[in-house]
Structure 1
Amino acid sequence: MRAVVFDRYTDLTGLELRDVAGPTPAPGEVVIEVAAAGLNPFDWHMYRGEPWIMRASEGWRVRSPRVVGADVAGTVTRVGEGVSRLAIGDRVFGSIGFGALAEQAVTDVRGLARIDDSVSALDAAATPMAGLTALQALRDAAAMAEGERVLVWGASGGVGHFAVQIARALGAGRVDAVASAERADFLLCLGADRVHDRSREVPASAGPYDVVIDTVGTQSVPQLRPLLAPGARVVTVGSLSRERLLGPATKLLSRTVAGAVHRVTTKGMFAAVRAADLDTLARWLSDGTIRPEIEQVYSFAQFADALATLERGHVRGKLVVEIGGDER
């Protein structure tokens, strides 16, 4: 089978589309015929080995070839021993860490969920990591209650545009967004009540907000404080920082310290892959509660162009690479 592989931490020039042996499922795993792979900043962090602190868990060196890509959609073709939750022929999606940019992928069934035949492989592949992050940031980290007022900062990106929709699905009383002016209509169509131009200061009169979901980390806690209601929670799920030692964690740490000083509840979070949450996202995709915005679909041969666009940033919604022939 063909796969996009790296055997050392590298930039795009070290990635190669080449033939590799097909996977065999271990107990508790399944093999998927991949229809599409959704891209996330996580992917370039993994092949670049940046920030460097990440290598403490992923390995200081790449000791065996790794396949790029976390978010996947496709069809189960083989099942390992002990698998009962999924069967051959099931259409599935999930976030698997490595292996999505390949004609076949193998993964633990706990990182997958079934998708309805009405959901396209492209939409399914675009959803897992960003959707999980938005859902868990709102429901778990922020403990958003029905009727609360939510501000999504960096709302037109992968996590942000899902956060706008999921806040509405969870019963937010108001959902406002911060994004570039040219993306305002797009976000209003997704359910935002108001879109603030990111190039201008958000006026205090726009608030107060009970929950802020921040995907970019461009504002300080003192800058956010006038916008916050008593008891508000600021949840940071990303940062534009390319700092090589700690990367986005630099903003999370500084926000924690500043929050303590200014008596603002600040939290950072990284999504956990949970089958039950993927089931929720699958249901919302099927009934139209959420829909991913896909800026561009690339062919498998165009993987390098897709990843270059991803690394440049400022993507509207998501980028997807089409691998197989699932036309749904």
Structure 2
Amino acid sequence: MTLPPTFDPDRAIALARDTLQIEAQAVRAMAERVGSTFAATVALILERPGRVVVMGMGKSGHIGRKLAATLASTGTPAFFVHPAEASHGDLGMITAADVVLGISNSGESDELLAILPVIKRMGVPLVAITGRLDSTLGRHADIALDASVAKEACPHNLAPTASTTAQLALGDALAVALLDARGFKADDFARSHPGGALGRKLLTHVGDVMRSGAQAPRVSRQASLMELMREISDKGLGMSAIVDADDRVLGIFTDGDLRRLIENSGSSVDLRNLSALEVMHANPRTVRAEALAVVAADLMETNRITSVLVVDEQGRLCGALNSNDLMRAKVI
């Protein structure tokens, strides 16, 4: 495709820098204006037993959808309602226990203003994020948050750019203040994001990914080295536990231990006569089944090992896992 004759790489770079500077300045200026009305908004949402219903038209609507998603994933139940659809039945989704958060840079969006009387009759508090506090939306809101900008980043000062950035930043600030007030922690975030990397790390336990029962390699202390090697080969974990008669872990023997044993043994030593008790490493690294899988991953990394045994309170073997198991579970 041929580039248009008006394209100038240097101008494109200059405009990009101007855009970023204008939007950064808009956010900095808004940060200086944050005060008691912002705190009152946080308190209002915390006090209401219902949800935050976010509304906005056009670009403000796109920001609203993102804000509703951010609130919902950080401990504040929220959803987005399109103002135009609200006038045709979707207002039934709003209850008297909710808070409506209306977003409009001009504060004069017809679709949003059309439903204000209904919201007022229902007694639902209205919070506005607007660039004009003296607009119809700003004047009729219970609380109006100032998201005004000096100018848009658009060279013609027309396309919503700096104004939508300000709305987005103010919405994120609101979500962060709410999650902090609710005592929302990393594990709470993980519960609402079970499919994400953080969710897997904070919700996956060793017991969820370990090999258990007959899949966990083990031999008795009296087992020969040949029997020990056969168990390692059959179970495919590159190691085996050595246990006593009550299945308590006495030690471990790995593929690496076998290589070192062969390298260090003289020709006069018959390895077939050695027992598992004689070749094992006593007091191996272990982990509990209820521990987070990421703890097992850290244990392996710290000690430069690829497998770990899982034991119960009495030190009895209940499972085993290696780094491949953790990778399959996407914990590492």
Shorter-chain TM range is under 0.3
Q: TM-score, normalising length from structure 1?
A: 0.23
The structure with the larger Rg is 2
Relative to total residues, which structure has the larger helix share, 1 or 2? 2
Between the two structures, name the one with larger relative contact order (CA 8 Å, sep ≥ 6): 1
